[in-house]
Amino acid sequence: MFRAASRRASASSTPALRLSQAQRQPLSRLIHNDARPSLLLRSSNAPSLVRSQLPHVRHLSYTQRIRRIYREASKGIFRKNPILLPLALVSFVAAFTAFGYASYVEATRVAPQYHKFPGPVADTLRTAVYYTEIDLNPFKALDAYKEALRTGLELGMHPFSDEILGIKLQVAMMLEKAGLVKQAIEAAGAGAGKPAPSPAQAKVEADQVQVSDEALREAEKDLVAMQEFEARQRDRALKKVVGMEMKLAELYASDHIQDEKKAEAAQVAAVELSLKELHRRLQLGLPVGVADSDDAAGEPWLNMVEIATALAELAATYTAKERYELAMPLYMRALDLIRQSEGNSVSCKQVVLLNDVATAMTGQVQKPTPGQKQGSQDQIIEAARQWAQKSIDVAARIQPPLRDEECDITCVVATYNLGEIAELQKKPDVARSRYTEALSLAKGLDYEDGVAMANAALKRLSKK
């Protein structure tokens, strides 16, 4: 009875217990799910749901990361470095500008100077120029120039070409710049040795060598081409030699040497070579001052102005030594060449030479030669007055841009010469007027030497 009653009690209470558990199950699951949300990831449907709710992760590229780093680093950089940052920016801009300018100079000025040289020679010359213009070192520069000459000759460059002679002249200029004037004279003298390359001769021994007519014609063409090349090289070499002789004269007359005799000898050599070559070309009907051929590479030997310059410089040397009788014909010849060259287009060069002639004539009267008569002196004085006045008249016809400071200064000197000539002619009033005019012109040009000369002349005239 007792067991049966207990079974019934158990049977009657079981449904209620199950119901109570069934009712509590959703709450326990909810609590359980809230406490462990990771369990949802184990179900098959959970991953897509969870992934849709998570934020999207974006991977940055390398460039973006670099920019992000620089952006973060640049925050507050100016505030922290108010002085260093502008200084750094200015330094960067200056360095960039310097690099750009150096590249521009290299492309427009430096590189064109070496395009005529073979590559190995050009490279060596760059080193030589560096130790000449940038970091002056005569020993390293001389070694580089020697190496350039040796390499050029080995590569077949003509020994009297413009390039080889130009290197030799550059050596002299480098030595002069370094203060080694005596060595510069030796280098210029070595380069100015009178080259006279003869045309190449081709001989074919018929009994020893058998050649065809075609080969003979080719050999004849080669011979003609070589002769033309040698002729061009001869003209260019002579032009270089004239320039070297004038450079030698400048070096001998410099403060380092002060050897007037050797300076004069170098000038005489330049003038004699110029006049002899001019005479030869005129006799043969060769052009003077223009290229010998229509070839674009053809270059003139010497033009009229260059020859006249050599003559005028030697005449100026004679004038400074009061050897007016030697200076006069040189000035006249130089003036004639300038007139031939300029034609109707008159420049200030004629103004200068006209006044130089007047100066030489005036000096010749002030220092007469033995046996010179008074009548001839009066004629020379009047001729000098006419030359000086001609100089002023020609200058008045020259207008800018052809008229330059050279014309203006020459007018001051010519006016002063007219005052001296008036003194020689016993015309003090005219002389004073000319000196006063010269003084006014000199002051207007800020020509201090002219002011000093005119003042001295006026003081001298006032004492008479």
Q: How many CA atoms lie within 13 A of 273 on its CB side?
A: 27
Instruction: Answer whether residue 395 shows pLDDT above 70.
Output: yes
Query: Is 0.75 topped by the overall pTM?
Result: no
3-state secondary structure (DSSP) of residue 392: helix
Structure tokens belonging to residue 306: 């260059």
Q: 25 pLDDT exceeds 50?
A: no
Supply the pLDDT for residue 308: 93
* CA 116 from centroid of its chain's CA atoms: 16
pLDDT at 107: 61
Question: Which two three-digit tokens encode residue 92?
Answer: 């960067």
37-93: pLDDT as tens digits: 443 334 444 444 444 444 555 566 767 777 777 666 666 666 666 677 677 778 888
CB 314 within 8 A of CB 267: yes
339-362 pLDDT, tens per residue? 998 988 899 999 999 999 999 999
Q: 1 by DSSP, 3-state: which? A: coil
Q: Are 284 and 308 in contact (CB under 8 A)?
A: no
Is the pLDDT confidence value at 20 over 50?
Answer: no
DSSP letter at 257 equals T
**Two tokens at 424?**
């020689």
Q: How many CB atoms lie within 10 A of CB 324?
A: 22
**Domains, the chain, ranges and CATH?**
322-464 (1.25.40.10)
